[in-house]
Structure 1
Amino acid sequence: MIVHSPAVVLRRFSYSDTSIIARCFTQEMGKISFMVRGAKRKKSPQTAFYEPMSHLDLVFYYNERRDMQTVSKANFATTYKNIHGDLKRIGYGMAVVELTEKTITDHDPHSELFIELLNILHTIDTRAEQLNLVYWYYQIKLLTLLGFKPDLDNRELTGLVLPDPTKGPNSAQILSFLLSGNLSDTGFQSKLNELSVSAKDRKVISQYINTCLYYHFDGLKELKSLRVLKALVTA
């Protein structure tokens, strides 16, 4: 079956001296691994396409009996102007795609989450301030769309009591705002600029959201980009 779908590259790794495996989040088919032969050759035009965070337009052959699919044609759907030239933007962008890669399952489409991911990457590329709020928004939106929407009034999960989300001076209000917000709404983005986030708020909100994620998804404590991001944010 031939499939034409937008995609975001979540991860790439070497397969041989000349080829790579690219793990992509496609809007039509969910998370799929692609074998890209010859992508490591110096003169290969494919090399640039398969970097994490790339937003591509893909045509590929899909066979449900295969672990890896084959790309027929790839083009950039969007080129980001600012992400790759700024360490903090890189940190947030990589954290977003790694979080996505670790939490969605293969061949399980989540079209709404895909659109949110594109919105987040666009916002990281175009917005310079308060990217921590944008990242928290995506973490919450991912939890919500995958069926685990946080409930600030209920801290008790099976076998776990969540951290108190009200311990910061503005933490509860910020979390409520992010839970009800929509990044596509320009009014929401404008209000992000007005939020006051103290060091205490940052700690409380991060602990609350991360505990929710760690509870529902195995392996997230091993996210490399989150460690890098923490170092960047606290620098």
Structure 2
Amino acid sequence: MAAERATALVIRGTDWSETSRITTLWTREFGKVRALAKGGRRLQSSFEVAFDLLTVCEVMFLRKAHGGLDLLTEATVRERFPQLRTDLRVLYCGYYFAELLADGTFDYDPHPQLFDATLETLRKLGNPTIDRPAAVSAFELVWLRELGYSPRLEECAVCGTPVEAGVRVPFSPSAGGALCPKCAPSTADRRWLSADGRATLGRLATDGDTLPAGVRTELRQLLSQMVSSILGRRPKMLAYLDGVG
């Protein structure tokens, strides 16, 4: 077993025994890592409070050669996002991000940009003036892009035919983008995407500071449907995101 060191965000935890715990980590260097922390539930554990959900840690673990759980040997807290402990709306957003990372990524499939975007968004959410729906939507778009599912807005997601610019278009969350007139009738989950919503969606991943009121509901519903389609179910935490603005 080779020892590895990484910067990690705690995204899930499960008690394993009276003294040990299984923790799921989203690491910058290795992607998702699931590891057993022997003695991690003891009051005098050397892991401090590193198992708290949405805590950033520096970790050391022994990587198993033939599958199974890795063995966590060291975890030191680096960042804790204090706003998560004082604002329930921010906490719900953080739990939603953790759910997408835990259930929508593969073990040992690193995405450094997604790791950085997660921490940056958690930090921004502590600002009381931030547009939270915009921040959540921008994070979803980074998650979609890193998994290879960026919404296709300029060409048909089914056949690749260019789609007319600057107009309302049919859009399929399951197909992952806009639809041409030929493909739209045969796509069961098609919905309309307004011209303003389409333009906003195109810039949101790189300019996620604001989500105009006129397209907010439209884009939140659309992105929620895309995320649900990829996961194969509706994320549990989506039900708690209403009113996060």
TM-score by length of 1: 0.82
1:36 alignment partner in structure 2: 37
C-alpha spacing 1:32/1:205, structure 2 compared with 1 (3 Å):
same
How far residue 4 of structure 1 moved from its aligned partner, in angstroms, is: 1.0
Partner residue of 2:231 out of 217, 220, 232: 217
1:196 alignment partner in structure 2: 212
Work out the CA distance in 2 between the residues paired with 1:178 and 1:22.
32
Deviations 1:136-158 (Å, cap 9, x if unpaired)? 00101110111111023442529
Gap runs ≥5 in structure 2:
157-170, 176-185
Work out the CA distance in 1 between the residues paired with 2:21 and 2:51.
9
1:171 alignment partner in structure 2: 197
2:238 alignment partner in structure 1: 226
Work out the CA distance in 1 between the residues paired with 2:218 and 2:30.
36
1:82 alignment partner in structure 2: 83
SS at match of 1:48: coil
1:152 alignment partner in structure 2: 153
Kindly provide the amino acid, as one letter, of the partner of residue 53 in structure 1: L
Work out the CA distance in 2 between the residues paired with 1:47 and 1:40.
10
1:58 alignment partner in structure 2: 59
Gap runs ≥5 in structure 1:
182-187
Q: Is the 8 A contact 2:47 2:74 kept in 1?
A: no
RMSD of equivalent CA atoms: 2.3
Q: Is the 8 A contact 2:5 2:58 kept in 1?
A: yes
Look at both structures and tell me which one has the larger radius of gyration over its CA atoms: 2
1:6 alignment partner in structure 2: 7
Which deviates more, 203-212 or 130-139?
203-212
Q: Percent identity?
A: 20
Q: Is the 8 A contact 2:48 2:76 kept in 1?
A: no
Matched pairs, number: 217
How far residue 20 of structure 1 moved from its aligned partner, in angstroms, is: 1.3
Q: Is the 8 A contact 1:40 1:47 kept in 2?
A: no
Point out the structure with the larger helix share: 1
